[in-house]
């Protein structure tokens, strides 16, 4: 496109129209057209000199279709009637989405390129706000580190022969650009927290603030003002005394100092190398961080080496590591069943019965398992790998008491009631203790309804007739014959034999006659 102002300046200097056309590569008819318009405005060659601004104004009046895109564009008149609608739609959607909806819903017959030019001309500020990149200010030594996962590639497991995907946990100190890389095969909660602990040990200290992505292993619910952190991850932050500051969801520019090195890690450390397993990868990554990444010249720190800047300036500014090691705990939220059991890992533990039906927070540490309700500990257990583990104190007293009446307890209680009751208990528990345990428990429970004296006499009567069984004793008490046969003098404690309940009724008939 030729310059109208330049054409008019040539004409104003009394150059022939043919020479102007040849010089600018424009058809002579075109030159005559625009010169004619200039003459119509009263402009004549050889007049007083004009400034550049005046020439631009003359050119705009002579050729408005060339100088004003609104006039020049053939599609402008098709789009402009939708100006207000486009303005409102651009507040919530991109230019591409607005064009697609107007094309499909309004029948706008305009290409995307023309539509973009229109939006850029009419709404110059729309869409530019999100494209603005603010250079992150420099941070003080030890103030910040940025954390992220990046996919490295795949390798063949020599043990299983299967292809495994490998990710790199990367943490970069924002001041010195010194980094820690740890290849992992799983991106679970244990790998995430363990990698942080290994990084702090590698650096010999802890930065004041960690900026990380919104992975579920670290952040359960992203929020710019009130993110909900994973319990284990929050415990780690409290233990090491560092602030966990999640980046905004979908905003990689919030942590550019760890985003940018990811391709470098993938190319320099991983590509073209063969590793035998995860441990070999992790050892190799530490060596690479020291020997390669740490001694590269980084332009962001004025061409210095990250490891040198770290050693001389930043290392001493990191927070010292705690004296006690961090205990990695798993948090879960089990529901308490009607049997008072709650499952943590592969083991079942009882909790107090009044929490039945509730979901508790369970913390599984190296040595203990703790159950919390609204932040208050309600039960603590030693940690077990599997199996069922119960505490009678967790059950309602009236129900636990029945199951707690083992043979030893039954013998002790029988001796408290009397010698005859003790003899019956010993006889029943002598052989097949567990089989007859219910019978002894039933006999002892009779004391709650008839009293210990009547139960003692009934047991003595059952021993005398040689049938110390639960049904026999209950029958004696039912018919009230526990006082019959007091004249019999067989000493209590003499071994008796069980002859069946029918002997009781024979003896009762003989006494009656």
Integer Cα distance of 86 and 77 in angstroms: 14
Which structure tokens are listed for 183?
A: 């290849």
Indicate if the pLDDT at residue 476 is higher than 80.
yes
User: What string of DSSP letters covers 69-112?
Assistant: HHHH-SSHHHHGGGHHHHHHHTTTS-HHHHHHHIIIII-----H
Q: Which of 311, 70, 282, 113 is nearest to 181 (CA)?
A: 282
Q: Of 91-100, 165-174, 278-287, which gets the smallest average pLDDT?
A: 91-100
Mapped onto helix, strand or coil, the DSSP state of residue 218 is: coil
For residue range 220-279, list pLDDT tens digits in order: 555 555 566 678 888 888 999 998 888 776 777 778 888 888 999 999 999 888 888 899
Question: What H or E segment, with its residue span, contains residue 364?
Answer: strand 361-364
Question: What H or E segment, with its residue span, contains residue 184?
Answer: strand 179-184
Q: Tell me the mean pLDDT in the region 306-323.
A: 93
Q: Tell me the mean pLDDT in the region 151-179.
A: 90
The fold adopted by the segment(s) 144-317 is Nucleotidyltransferase; domain 5 (3.30.420)
* Angle, alpha carbons 266-272-276 (nearest 5°): 95
This prediction's pTM: 0.53
**Is residue 141 within 8 Å of residue 175, measured between CB atoms?**
yes
Domain boundaries, the chain: 4-67, 72-122, 144-317, 330-397, 405-512
Integer Cα distance of 136 and 321 in angstroms: 28
Q: Which of 258, 239, 424 is nearest to 326 (CA)?
A: 239
For residue range 11-41, list pLDDT tens digits in order: 888 888 888 888 777 788 888 888 888 888 8
Task: Give the pLDDT score at 129.
Answer: 54
| 404 pLDDT tier (thresholds 50, 70, 90) | low
Indicate if the pLDDT at residue 317 is higher than 90.
yes
């Amino acid at each position: 496109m030729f310059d109208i102002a330049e054409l008019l300046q040539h004409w104003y200097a009394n150059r022939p129209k043919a020479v102007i056309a040849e010089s600018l590569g424009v058809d002579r008819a075109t030159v005559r057209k625009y010169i004619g318009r200039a003459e119509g405005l009263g402009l004549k060659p050889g007049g007083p000199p004009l400034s550049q601004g005046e020439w631009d104004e003359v050119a705009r009046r002579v050729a408005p279709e060339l100088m004003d895109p609104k006039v020049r564009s053939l599609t402008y008149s098709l789009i402009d009637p939708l100006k207000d609608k486009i303005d409102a739609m651009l507040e919530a959607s991109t230019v591409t989405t607005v064009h697609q909806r107007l094309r499909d819903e309004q029948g706008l017959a305009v290409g995307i390129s023309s539509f973009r030019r229109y939006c850029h001309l009419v709404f110059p500020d729309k869409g530019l706000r999100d494209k603005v990149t603010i250079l992150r200010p420099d941070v003080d030594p030890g103030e910040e580190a940025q954390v992220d996962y990046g996919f490295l590639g795949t390798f063949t497991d020599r043990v299983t022969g299967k292809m495994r995907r490998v990710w790199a946990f990367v943490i970069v100190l924002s001041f010195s650009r010194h980094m820690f890389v740890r290849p992992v095969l799983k991106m679970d909660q244990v790998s995430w927290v363990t990698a942080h602990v290994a990084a702090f040990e590698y650096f010999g200290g802890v930065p004041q603030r960690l900026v990380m992505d919104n992975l579920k292993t670290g952040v359960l619910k992203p929020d710019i003002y009130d993110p909900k952190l994973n319990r284990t991850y929050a415990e780690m932050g409290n233990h090491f005394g560092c602030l966990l500051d999640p980046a905004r969801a979908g905003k990689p520019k919030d942590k550019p100092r760890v985003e940018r090195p990811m391709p470098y890690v993938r190319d320099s450390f991983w590509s073209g190398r063969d590793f035998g397993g995860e441990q070999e990868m992790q050892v190799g990554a530490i060596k690479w961080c020291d020997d390669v990444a740490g001694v590269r010249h980084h332009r962001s720190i004025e061409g210095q080496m990250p490891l040198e800047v770290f050693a001389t300036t930043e290392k001493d500014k990191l927070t010292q590591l705690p004296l006690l090691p961090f205990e990695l705990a798993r948090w879960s939220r089990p529901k308490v069943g009607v049997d008072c059991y709650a499952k943590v890992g592969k083991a079942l533990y009882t909790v107090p019965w009044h929490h039945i039906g509730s979901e508790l927070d369970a913390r599984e540490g190296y040595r203990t398992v703790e159950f919390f309700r609204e932040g208050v500990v309600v039960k603590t257990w030693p940690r077990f790998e599997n199996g069922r583990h119960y505490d009678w104190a967790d059950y309602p007293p009236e129900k636990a008491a029945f199951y707690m009446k083992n043979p030893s307890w039954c013998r002790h209680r029988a001796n408290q009631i009397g010698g005859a009751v003790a003899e019956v208990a010993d006889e029943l528990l002598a052989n097949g203790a567990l089989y007859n345990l219910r019978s002894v428990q039933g006999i002892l429970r009779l004391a709650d309804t008839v009293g210990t004296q009547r139960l003692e006499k009934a047991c003595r009567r059952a021993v005398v007739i040689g049938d110390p069984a639960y049904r026999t004793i209950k029958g004696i008490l039912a018919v009230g014959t526990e006082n019959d046969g007091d004249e019999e003098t067989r000493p209590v404690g003499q071994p008796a034999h069980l002859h069946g309940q029918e002997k009781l009724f024979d003896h009762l008939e003989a006494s009656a006659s």
